[in-house]
Amino acid sequence: MDLAGKKIAFLGDSITEGCGTSSIEHTFWNVLGQKTGAQVFGYGIGGTRIAPQRVPSDPRADQDFISRVDGMIPDADVVVVFGGTNDFGHGDAPFGTRGDQTSETFCGALHVLFTKLYERYPAAQLVVMTPTHRLSETDSVMNEFGVRRSGNLRAYVQAIRDAAEDFAVPVLDLFRVSGIQPSVPALREAYMPDGLHPNDAGHAKIADKLIGFLQTL
């Protein structure tokens, strides 16, 4: 795909919003726009999750991905979804199982999200990116809100892969190929100092991975 001039919408959380970068210009999606000539539109809100929160926690962070689809530009050529780490980190929706079709569970919310995106953008190219590695992805059965987790971050990543396969959505698997792994001290220092949000160098790395991936579609 030639990205020049394409309208690309990015639905995400604090990473898409730019937390961890020195400025919004250094977010992965703005870097992509600068390098390719694509028209980029960022819809990142810190703390947000793919699945709706069952018990309200914060009005801003409780704006789940599903509820925000209709607020994006209506004529996107490409839509990139990048989330899931907050569902693991502090979401209270049950994990669910593959085949769930309601937003009551994380797995079901993925089904609802992809369905809604295809309804709004039937001619667009949908793409999903899995979460990168983070610190504290396996070391507790309780999340940040004291809710019992279902599995570890790897399980949420696999659910995203499975849902994307079910909907024939291409996956850029950052969990596998980003080169960002904060449990390795040198990589944490270089790309993700706080263990969760990539810095400018980390965003540049993600941008390059995404550009190369989109150009294959």
Q: Which fold has domain 7-214?
A: Rossmann fold (3.40.50)
- In whole angstroms, give the CA distance from residue 39 to residue 205: 20
What value, to the nearest 5°, has the Cα angle with vertex 122 and ends 119 and 128?
85
Phi-psi region of 139 (alpha: psi -120 to 50; beta: other; left: phi over 0): alpha
Return the pLDDT at 114.
98
Return the pLDDT at 144.
66
Return the pLDDT at 66.
98
Return the pLDDT at 148.
59
Q: Sign of the C-alpha dihedral, residues 73, 60, 85, 160?
A: negative
- What are the residue boundaries of the structural domains of the chain, listed by start? 7-214
Q: Sign of the C-alpha dihedral, residues 171, 126, 113, 167?
A: negative
Phi-psi region of 144 (alpha: psi -120 to 50; beta: other; left: phi over 0): alpha
Q: Per residue of the chain (217 residues), give pLDDT as tens.
A: 999 999 999 999 999 999 999 999 999 999 999 999 999 999 999 999 999 999 898 999 999 999 999 999 999 999 999 999 999 988 989 899 999 999 999 999 999 999 999 999 999 999 999 999 999 898 666 666 666 566 799 999 999 999 999 999 999 999 999 999 999 999 999 999 999 999 999 999 999 999 999 999 9
- In whole angstroms, give the CA distance from residue 66 to residue 172: 20
CB count within 10 Å of CB 60 equals: 10
Return the pLDDT at 151.
72
Return the pLDDT at 99.
95
Read off the tokens for 34: 């600068």
- In whole angstroms, give the CA distance from residue 21 to residue 192: 10
Return the pLDDT at 145.
65
Identify the H or E element spanning 35. helix 28-36
- Give 176's DSSP letter: H
